[in-house]
Amino acid sequence: MPSLHNLPAPAKINLFLHVTGRRSDGYHLLQSVFMLIDWQDTLHIDTRSDGQLRRHDLNVRLPDDDLCLKAARLLQTESRTSQGCDIRIHKEVPWGAGLGGGSSDAATVLLALNQLWGLNWSRTRLEALAVKLGADVPFFVRGRNAWVEGIGESITPIKLPAGVLNTPLALLKPPVAIPTVAIFGNESLKRDTKHAIVEDFLAAPRCFGRNDLQAPAESYSSQISQALAIMQNRFGNSRMTGSGSTVFSWITTDTSRQTPSLQPADLGLDDPAWVGRVSRGLIQHPLLDLLDSIPD
């Protein structure tokens, strides 16, 4: 049976994240720039002729019905295929981190099964399906760094400057995972940030704007404030990505000549559940060749 192995599912960070309003149905309106980074999960997918959908966790145990299985089930139902699959996941991107790891995994499943099952669905059709799985999934299906607006459905590709893509990033994930509802339901959340324009962002992409979700996240957990302070003291800048809890910093000083240690003990942290990593931005999704084989 056909198979695709060593499929990357890269994470993303929000270079900024503004909340510009709220719809009558309660959904918040956002503006952000999503940048793909080289911290990624790896998936291996084999087709089955019996229609069964199975997931096998290679290192970290995931929820019984995660987004990968939901993505496969949705595509199977909508396409009415009789085929199934085995999905094997080597998980590296932590969950509850604001890095979009689960959404990226789901997008990789959609893209791979579209080819393995011989569906040849257009990218537009896959994106419409991805919206049903989560706000971040369509971005990963499209596979390019993007200016994102609305509730995440308005995705405009953006070419990030080489200085952004080539500057290493330090990322620090505290043990806490923050429920999204705790952020968007927080009274301190600012919901009227002025609309930004692309030109202003591109004039100062590494320090533009802020993350409006950061203050509510800090009020939810002191670990967010602790991570921000550690990174600010070490690199001179820090910002939370997404709804947390990962904090990132640009490594713009001479420390970029050597890989800084982000091990918990080296940062003065007693809890080994903290996760640190040095990463870089990606020009595009590593599966772009597969994406480009799909008609728009």
Which of the residues are catalytic?
12, 136
Report long-range pairs for 64-70 (Cβ below 8 Å, ≥24 apart): 66/102, 66/105, 67/102, 67/103, 67/105, 67/106, 67/133, 67/134, 67/137, 68/43, 68/102, 68/105, 68/106, 68/109, 70/106, 70/133
Ordered DSSP codes for 97-152: SSS-HHHHHHHHHHHHHHHHTT----HHHHHHHHHTT-TTHHHHHHTB-EEEEETT
Residues 135 and 127: their CA atoms lie apart, in Å, by 10
